């Protein structure tokens, strides 16, 4: 076998590219310069965020709409440390990212010293969070490290991995063998067993009132159309988790909102739940509390999952169908007969329509723009085919209640809810989808402030990303808590800031509006501009505490329910 002499940086790029990695997210640091050079030569996207954590967040956004893991790099010392909080988010959201960190020479890294420059022990910290963490001590080890990284990142429940190397090692040359294709060093997608399929058919055959609960993995694995096909064969209600928002359009005749009275009724009377791409997270009451507690003894539960170790953690199940999500959905669609539409679905859809109409009618009008009204207006102007990225605290609840889910891609870290990740994720989404498909970030002003300068990253890459800011000049949830507990706020309100002018100063399109009738025209102009655009919507600063936010009752039902169920009140 003829050896090929190349730098370790070039080898890393070759290993990433054959795995389908399209983007390298890294500041142009000296410790990644060789990787960036070869990535550029290979035609990959090279994206330099303004903060290293945003490299991981952008990679997460890229994965969310492609199902393909991407790579993020951090410079030695503080650069790697800045990756850490975002890697925690990737871990808790089950998103695979290949994270590379540079460090000082191993002689310095292992020395017992004080006052070292740009040096801190990081591998042990990443090892506590990631599915796999390794230090590469010689260029000859990089193939094993990257291959094992992909093997771990995408197997079972996906998650991030960490690969560390000495800062100068990436420019060192070595004689490398021919690449081994991914299909030869890790297992590909697997079908579910025929035994599991037969058992599933038996359970569906005995079920009179099934429901489907879909989660974020349906989107990540690009299975939205398969989910809809399965649901239409079953003729049953389909509900989604928060993280699974949008995988079925709200207007579909079988779609019910989990947090609605109609959705809760459908769950309570069901005799079978099919969980697709979800772990029954806390915000669905772990699949066993609240509405699930009704009829529990008679209800069967089938889960479609990729990970044996994830089955039955949050609630007992009757059947685990373990395999690649796309393949198992296809198996079910092929095997299941067409069923009649559930007789109560029209009734539940009508109930849900009345619920929404009542909620709209109850939106207060104090002479200032309520954030709920902002979402209603925005929905009429944001193109239906847009990918929506979400960030914020109460902003998330306002949009979930009043921004109808018409598209298939809603990107939101609903498990860990890491504030501030939305803007860099939106950058990753727009890079993944190109300029043709619109991308809209809906965010609160508090969340936007974490990584505001990533708007410059978007401008630099000429991304037509549109940002809608719910600007109530505060951290809304914290305002409510302070007002209720203290009677006034302490350091949770902001000054009035012209984010729109900051956007213009960066070379983008910016507008400020504070009236309902101005929201739609401003959003349409933002999308038409073809630039990175920001529409700053000044909303009622009292809304967060003068009335409960949408789904406040639902949130209260999950936040303490598990502890109370186990230990009592």
Predicted confidence (pLDDT) per residue in 438-479, tens digit: 999 999 999 999 999 999 999 999 999 999 999 999 988 888
Q: Where are the beta strands (DSSP E) in 257-369?
A: 272-276, 300-305, 319-322
Co-location of 124 and 32 in the same domain: yes
Helix (H, G, I), strand (E, B) or coil at 15: helix
Task: Compute the average pLDDT of residues 91-105.
Answer: 93
pLDDT digits (tens, 9 = 90+) for 321-376: 999 999 999 999 999 999 999 999 999 999 999 999 999 999 999 999 999 999 99
Residue 559 is predicted with a pLDDT of 81
Q: Does the pLDDT value for residue 308 go beyond 60?
A: yes
Residue 294 is predicted with a pLDDT of 92
Residue 154 is predicted with a pLDDT of 96
Co-location of 450 and 304 in the same domain: no
- Among the three residues 280, 315, 349, which one is the final residue of a domain in this structure? 349
Those residues with Cβ within 8 angstroms of residue 237's Cβ, 6 or more apart along the chain or in another chain:
211, 212, 254, 255, 256, 263, 266, 270, 342, 345, 348
CA distances from 507 to 74, 335, 462, 530, 534 (A): 27, 55, 10, 12, 11
Residue 199 is predicted with a pLDDT of 97
For the chain, what's the residue count? 569
- Among the three residues 185, 206, 229, which one is the final residue of a domain in this structure? 185
Spatial CA neighbour of 44 closest among 431, 336, 500, 488: 431
Q: Which two tokens stand for residue 96?
A: 């695979």
Q: Does the pLDDT value for residue 568 go beyond 90?
A: no
Strands 132-136 and 161-166: parallel
Residue 355 lies in a domain: no
Give the pLDDT band (50/70/90) at residue 545: confident
- Among the three residues 149, 165, 185, which one is the final residue of a domain in this structure? 185
Residue 357 lies in a domain: no
Co-location of 481 and 511 in the same domain: yes
Spatial CA neighbour of 471 closest among 522, 427, 535: 535
CA distances from 191 to 176, 215, 354, 464, 518 (A): 35, 20, 42, 39, 52
Co-location of 286 and 408 in the same domain: no
Residue 280 lies in a domain: yes
Co-location of 171 and 205 in the same domain: no
Co-location of 382 and 321 in the same domain: no
Q: Does the pLDDT value for residue 391 go beyond 90?
A: yes
Could you tell me the CATH number of the domain that includes residue 392? 3.40.50.970
Could you tell me the CATH number of the domain that includes residue 309? 3.40.50.1220
Q: Which two tokens stand for residue 4?
A: 């090929």
Co-location of 29 and 139 in the same domain: yes
Residue 194 is predicted with a pLDDT of 95
Those residues with Cβ within 8 angstroms of residue 485's Cβ, 6 or more apart along the chain or in another chain:
none
Give the pLDDT band (50/70/90) at residue 2: low
Phi, psi of 77 (to 5 degrees): 80, -120
Give the single-character DSSP code of 343.
Answer: T
Number of domains into which the chain is organized? 3
pLDDT digits (tens, 9 = 90+) for 282-303: 999 999 999 999 988 899 999 9
Residue 354 lies in a domain: no
Q: Does the pLDDT value for residue 565 go beyond 90?
A: no
Task: Compute the average pLDDT of residues 389-404.
Answer: 94
Residue 305 lies in a domain: yes
Co-location of 18 and 125 in the same domain: yes
Phi, psi of 511 (to 5 degrees): -145, 150
Host domain of residue 533: 363-554
Phi, psi of 568 (to 5 degrees): 85, 170
pLDDT digits (tens, 9 = 90+) for 44-77: 999 999 999 999 999 999 999 999 999 999 998 8
Give the pLDDT band (50/70/90) at residue 378: very high
Co-location of 180 and 202 in the same domain: no
pLDDT digits (tens, 9 = 90+) for 230-287: 999 999 999 999 999 999 999 999 999 999 999 999 999 999 999 999 999 999 999 9
Task: Compute the average pLDDT of residues 555-560.
Answer: 80
Co-location of 268 and 247 in the same domain: yes
Residue 275 lies in a domain: yes
Task: Compute the average pLDDT of residues 118-138.
Answer: 91
Crossing angle for the helix pair 476-485 and 394-402, to the nearest 10 degrees: 110
Co-location of 25 and 136 in the same domain: yes
Q: Which two tokens stand for residue 10?
A: 């070039």
Residue 549 is predicted with a pLDDT of 81
Task: Compute the average pLDDT of residues 409-420.
Answer: 91
Measured in whole angstroms, the distance separating CA 198 from the mean position of its chain's CA atoms is: 33
Residue 174 lies in a domain: yes
pTM over 0.85: yes
Give the pLDDT band (50/70/90) at residue 1: low
Residue 514 lies in a domain: yes
Co-location of 181 and 198 in the same domain: no
Q: Are 252 and 234 in contact (CB under 8 A)?
A: no
pLDDT digits (tens, 9 = 90+) for 514-537: 999 999 999 999 999 999 999 999
Strands 300-305 and 319-322: parallel
Q: Does the pLDDT value for residue 143 go beyond 90?
A: yes
Q: Does the pLDDT value for residue 109 go beyond 80?
A: no
Query: For the chain, what is the total number of helices (H) and then of strands (E)?
Result: 25, 19
Spatial CA neighbour of 537 closest among 505, 503, 511: 511
């Amino acid at each position: 076998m003829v050896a090929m002499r190349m730098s370790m940086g070039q080898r890393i790029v070759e290993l990433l590219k054959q795995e389908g990695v399209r983007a390298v997210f890294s500041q142009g640091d000296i410790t990644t310069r060789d990787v960036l050079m070869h990535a550029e030569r290979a035609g990959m996207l090279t994206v330099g965020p303004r903060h290293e954590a945003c490299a991981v967040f952008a990679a997460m956004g890229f994965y969310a709409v492609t199902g393909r893991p991407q790579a993020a790099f951090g410079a030695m010392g503080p650069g790697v440390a800045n990756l850490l909080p975002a890697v925690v988010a990737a871990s808790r959201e089950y998103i695979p990212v290949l994270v590379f960190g540079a460090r000082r020479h191993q002689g310095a890294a292992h020395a017992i010293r004080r006052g070292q420059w740009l040096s801190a022990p990081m591998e042990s910290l990443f090892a506590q969070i990631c599915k796999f963490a390794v230090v590469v001590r010689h260029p000859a080890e990089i193939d094993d490290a990257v291959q094992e990284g992909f093997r771990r990142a995408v197997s079972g429940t996906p998650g991030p991995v960490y690969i560390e190397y000495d800062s100068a090692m990436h420019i060192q040359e070595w004689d490398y063998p021919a690449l081994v294709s991914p299909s030869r060093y890790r297992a590909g997608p697997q079908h579910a067993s025929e035994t599991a399929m037969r058992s599933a058919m038996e359970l569906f055959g005995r079920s009179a009132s099934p429901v489907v609960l879909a989660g974020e993995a349906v989107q990540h694995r690009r299975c939205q159309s398969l989910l809809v096909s399965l649901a239409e064969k079953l003729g049953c209600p389909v509900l989604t988790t928060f993280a699974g928002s949008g995988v079925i359009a709200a207007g579909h005749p079988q779609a019910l909102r989990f947090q609605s009275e109609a959705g809760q009724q459908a769950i309570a009377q069901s005799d079978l739940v099919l969980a697709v791409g979800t772990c029954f997270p806390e915000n669905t009451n772990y699949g066993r509390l609240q509405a699930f507690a009704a009829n529990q003894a008679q209800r069967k539960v089938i889960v479609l999952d990729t990970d044996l170790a994830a089955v039955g953690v949050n609630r007992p199940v009757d059947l685990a169908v373990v395999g690649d999500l796309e393949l198992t959905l296809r198996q079910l669609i092929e095997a299941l007969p067409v069923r009649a539409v559930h007789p109560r679905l029209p009734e539940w859809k009508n109930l849900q329509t009345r619920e929404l109409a009542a909620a709209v009618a109850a939106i207060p009008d104090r002479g200032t723009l309520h954030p709920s009204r902002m979402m209603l207006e925005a929905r009429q102007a944001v193109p239906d085919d847009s990918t929506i990225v979400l960030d914020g605290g109460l902003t998330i609840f306002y949009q979930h209640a009043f921004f109808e889910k018409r598209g298939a891609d809603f990107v939101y870290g609903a498990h860990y809810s890491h504030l501030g990740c939305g803007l860099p994720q939106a950058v990753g989404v727009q890079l993944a989808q190109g300029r043709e498909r619109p991308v809209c970030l809906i965010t609160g002003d508090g969340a936007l402030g974490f990584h505001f300068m990533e708007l410059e990253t978007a401008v630099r890459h000429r991304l037509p990303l549109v940002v809608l800011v719910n600007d109530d000049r505060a951290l809304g949830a914290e305002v409510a808590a302070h007002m209720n507990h203290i009677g006034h706020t302490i350091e949770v309100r902001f000054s009035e800031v012209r984010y729109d002018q900051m956007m213009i100063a960066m070379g983008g399109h910016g507008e400020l509006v504070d009236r309902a009738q101005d929201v739609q025209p401003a959003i349409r102009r933002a999308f038409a501009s073809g630039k990175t655009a920001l529409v700053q919507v000044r909303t009622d600063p009292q809304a967060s505490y003068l009335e409960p936010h949408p789904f406040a009752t639902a949130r209260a039902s999950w936040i303490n329910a598990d502890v109370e169920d186990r230990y009592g009140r």
